[in-house]
């Protein structure tokens, strides 16, 4: 596998990142019945490492922190720490109490220590803010993140879904004060949701920020026929809130993926992921793996070059959508929204 640098840094990552939201425990957090326990997760961690994937992404809120514990125990079984790039995130509340969430200095300092304890690591390679926090001045957040890096608890910092003006404001705060800037943006983009092409992706391309898209397969919708159902598609209520607009256009995109996959003799997921690599700012889509073949089809995408005609066919049915997944709100309000969505999905 060929490794690439993440943004304007010297950090070498695989062109695929294994998302670890699927590993933990359904009894903790608010994810669905598709989450795997530790023993069920082990084969996928092993396969990823053996395939050359060195980039692993989790968050302190996945399975109520158990995802971090699981990958912290499993990764050392298959690779040395210096060979791995481990990323985690903070923002959503870990307890219903003041300061137990958000991006204040107090919250971030507690969150990084808690994550390192669960991961059983001295540092993470990439520490990311999971959303924008309206309740905290961005200067306070960026200074706290800078101090976390200076303390050796994180090597680099990254951000996740927000509006482009917010990301630009954060980067400018860091630049103006000589603080650590973000090297990556983990944003929501795939063939069914391309609104990031308006502002965020051009901004990141111009500023040399690496993109590590979440949900590159639209929560699995691009990896199967439009009418096919899975446990996750039936129980992932938050996923349902992301893909409610222009369902006919989405179906046409999914059909185009299927047609190209059949013509090429590859899996649908391979085609949908290969589309990401046709975009210059994309570094490493974050893929999930819960079934045999998931990792193999993702790795195959790194070797598949789509033609200009195929890319045009995939993009033609798309209809513009109202932005979703970029919530700018208080962490407790967003947490409630996500919990309610899962309850609705169940």
Could you give the residue numbers annotated as active site? Answer: 62
For the record, the structure tokens of 137 come out as 């001045």
Angstrom distance (rounded) from CA 44 to CA 301: 18
Going from the C-alpha of 110 to that of each of 69, 100, 136, 157, 262, the distances in angstroms are 17, 8, 16, 16, 50
Q: Which residues touch 291 (CB under 8 Å, ≥6 apart)?
A: none
Q: Where are any strands of DSSP class E within 231-288?
A: 286-287
For the range 107-116, what are the long-range contacts, defined as Cβ-Cβ under 8 Å and sequence gap of 24 or more?
A: 108/141, 108/144, 108/145, 108/148, 109/144, 109/147, 109/148, 111/60, 112/148, 112/153, 112/154, 113/153, 114/60, 114/65, 115/60, 115/65, 115/68, 115/88, 115/90, 116/153
Cα torsion angle, 46, 51, 55, 58, sign: negative
Q: Which residues touch 208 (CB under 8 Å, ≥6 apart)?
A: 7, 8
How far does the chain reach from its first CA to its final CA, in angstroms?
Answer: 39
* Residue of 196, 153, 253, 214 whose CA lies nearest to 21: 214
């Amino acid at each position: 596998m060929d490794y690439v640098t993440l943004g304007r840094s010297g950090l070498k990552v695989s062109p695929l990142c294994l998302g670890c939201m699927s590993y933990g425990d359904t009894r903790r957090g608010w994810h669905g019945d598709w989450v795997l326990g530790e023993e069920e997760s082990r084969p996928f961690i092993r396969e990823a490492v053996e395939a050359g994937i060195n980039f692993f992404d989790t968050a302190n809120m996945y399975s109520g922190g158990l995802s971090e514990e699981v990958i912290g125990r499993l990764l050392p079984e298959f690779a040395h720490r210096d060979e791995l790039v481990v990323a985690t995130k903070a923002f959503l509340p870990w307890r219903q109490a003041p300061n137990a969430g958000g991006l204040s200095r107090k919250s971030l300092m507690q969150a990084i220590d808690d994550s390192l304890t669960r991961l059983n690591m001295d540092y993470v390679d990439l520490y990311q803010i999971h959303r924008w926090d309206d309740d905290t001045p961005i200067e306070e957040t960026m200074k706290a993140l800078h101090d976390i890096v200076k303390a050796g608890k994180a090597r680099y910092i990254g951000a996740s879904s927000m509006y482009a003006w917010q990301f630009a404001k954060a980067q400018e705060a860091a630049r103006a004060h000589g603080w650590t800037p973000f090297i990556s943006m983990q944003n929501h983009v795939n063939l069914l949701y391309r609104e990031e092409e308006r502002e965020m992706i051009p901004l990141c391309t111009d500023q040399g920020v690496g993109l590590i898209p979440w949900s590159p397969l639209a929560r699995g919708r691009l990896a199967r026929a439009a009418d096919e159902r899975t446990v996750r598609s039936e129980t992932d209520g938050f996923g349902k809130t992301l893909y409610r607009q222009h369902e006919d256009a989405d179906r046409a995109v999914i059909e185009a993926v299927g047609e190209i996959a059949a013509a090429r003799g590859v899996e649908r997921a391979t085609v949908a992921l290969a589309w990401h690599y046709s975009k210059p700012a994309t570094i490493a889509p974050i893929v999930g793996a819960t079934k045999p073949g998931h990792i193999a089809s993702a790795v195959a995408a790194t070797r598949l070059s789509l033609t200009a005609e195929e890319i045009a066919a995939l993009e033609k049915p798309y209809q513009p959508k109202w932005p979703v997944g970029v919530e700018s709100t208080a962490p407790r309000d967003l947490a409630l929204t996500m919990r309610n969505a899962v309850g609705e999905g169940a």
